[in-house]
């Protein structure tokens, strides 16, 4: 794609995204759009690489200020930075690295913090203390969700097709684990006030799959599917039909980038 800039000066701040592939990312459009809107002397550039080590050297040479990190480098980047925050330590993945005040590289994970904000906004509350929440799935996205929900005080249960993977995740985070299927419907009911769907069921080419097809919504659940394509998954449509409050993944995608923008230009999380 071609990006238009207000200007490139001798002082232009360079931010980036690294990944492989990287050309499909919406992040350059979002970040460069904000720079233009805010009149910031900054540019956000995609780097296709197969080596995060190469990138860290390049980042020194080019004095890169901050970078988004996407597939497949979210874990590999961690040993290459100077400091990590509690989200990165718990999740074992970072999607954002930036220079702190002294020029050291710090890593955080705005996927996790970006996931929780739209949920709190929808609920109209500041934290999840005393709330139960169900996480569907046990992959990387589920780890971020479990961390983020627990960080805000929720009591979490993990539900996954492969029970042993749910148990592994639950062991690490000190929560409970269940499988998916009719025999787990009662357990899901117990944790159903917030249901966060993180599995790849519902994502193309699995778009007809509803991972909780065995469960009937009663309308009291807040149902959050972090899949953003399609915008409305089969599970979301069914929940909405039952009167549930429903949230898709698009706001999360936008929010993780907003948080990155704030980090890159303040050096801290807001
Ligand atoms: P990511 O790191 O992106 O979250 P992942 O590690 O590949 O992805 O995990 C994909 C998740 O989607 C897993 O929890 C997977 O369940 P299994 O552990 O049983 O494989 C889940 N998943 C994929 N297809 C699914 C389906 N049709 N029904 C239910 N869960 C599914």
Residue 201 and residue 98 share a domain? no
* pLDDT value at residue 4: 57
> Which residues partner with 197 through β-bridges?
136, 225
* pLDDT value at residue 213: 96
CA 192 – CA 181 distance, rounded (Å): 15
Query: Does the residue 236 lie in any domain?
Result: yes
Q: 31 C-alpha to center of ligand 1: Å?
A: 30
* pLDDT value at residue 6: 61
pTM for the complete prediction? 0.92
Q: Write b or e for each residue in 214-247: b if 16 or more Cβ atoms lie within 10 A of its Cβ, otherwise e.
A: ebebeeebbbbbbbbebeebbbbebbeeeebebb
243 near 219, Cβ under 8 Å?
Answer: yes
Residue 129 and residue 86 share a domain? no
Please list the ranges in the chain whose pLDDT falls under 50.
1, 268-270
The pocket around ligand 1, CB under 6 angstroms, is made up of 137-142, 160-162, 165, 180, 198-201, 206, 209, 211
Q: How many CB atoms lie within 10 A of CB 165?
A: 17
- Which CATH number fits the domain that encloses residue 49? 3.40.50.10860
For residue 203, give its domain range: 112-251
Please tell me what DSSP assigns to residue 2: -
Per residue in 99-150, pLDDT (tens digit) is 988 889 999 999 999 999 999 999 999 999 999 999 999 999 999 999 999 9
Which residue of 111, 168, 199, 228 sits with most ligand 1 atoms within 8 Å of its CB, as the best mutation to test the pocket? 199
Q: 258 C-alpha to center of ligand 1: Å?
A: 27
Query: Does the residue 259 lie in any domain?
Result: no
Residue 236 and residue 117 share a domain? yes
Residue 91 and residue 59 share a domain? yes
Residue 85 and residue 141 share a domain? no
Q: What is the ipTM of this complex?
A: 0.96
Which residue of 143, 161, 227 sits with most ligand 1 atoms within 8 Å of its CB, as the best mutation to test the pocket? 161
Residue 122 and residue 84 share a domain? no
């Amino acid at each position: 794609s071609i990006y238009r800039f207000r200007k490139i000066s001798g002082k232009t701040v360079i931010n980036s995204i690294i990944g492989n592939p990287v050309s499909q990312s919406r992040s350059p459009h979002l970040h460069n759009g904000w720079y233009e809107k805010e009149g910031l002397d900054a540019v956000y550039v995609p780097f296709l690489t197969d080596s995060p080590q190469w990138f860290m050297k390049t980042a020194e040479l080019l004095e890169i200020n901050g970078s988004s990190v996407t597939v497949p480098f979210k874990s590999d980047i961690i040993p290459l930075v100077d400091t990590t925050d509690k989200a990165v330590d718990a999740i074992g993945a970072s999607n954002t690295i930036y220079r702190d005040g002294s020029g050291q590289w710090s890593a955080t994970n705005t996927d996790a913090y970006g996931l929780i904000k739209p949920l709190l906004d929808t609920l109209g509350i500041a934290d999840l203390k005393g709330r139960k929440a169900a996480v569907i799935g046990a992959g990387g996205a589920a780890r971020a969700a479990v961390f983020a929900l627990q960080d805000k005080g929720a009591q979490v249960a993990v539900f996954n097709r492969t029970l042993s993977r749910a148990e592994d995740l639950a062991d690490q985070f000190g929560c409970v684990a269940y499988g998916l299927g009719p025999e787990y419907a009662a357990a899901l009911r117990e944790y159903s006030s917030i249901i966060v769907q993180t599995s790849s069921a519902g994502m193309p080419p699995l778009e007809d799959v509803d991972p909780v097809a065995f469960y009937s919504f009663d309308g009291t659940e807040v149902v959050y599917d972090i899949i953003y394509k399609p915008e409305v998954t089969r599970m979301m449509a069914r929940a909405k039909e039952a009167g549930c409050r429903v949230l898709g993944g698009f706001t999360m995608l936008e929010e993780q980038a907003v948080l990155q923008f704030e980090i890159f230009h303040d050096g801290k999380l807001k």
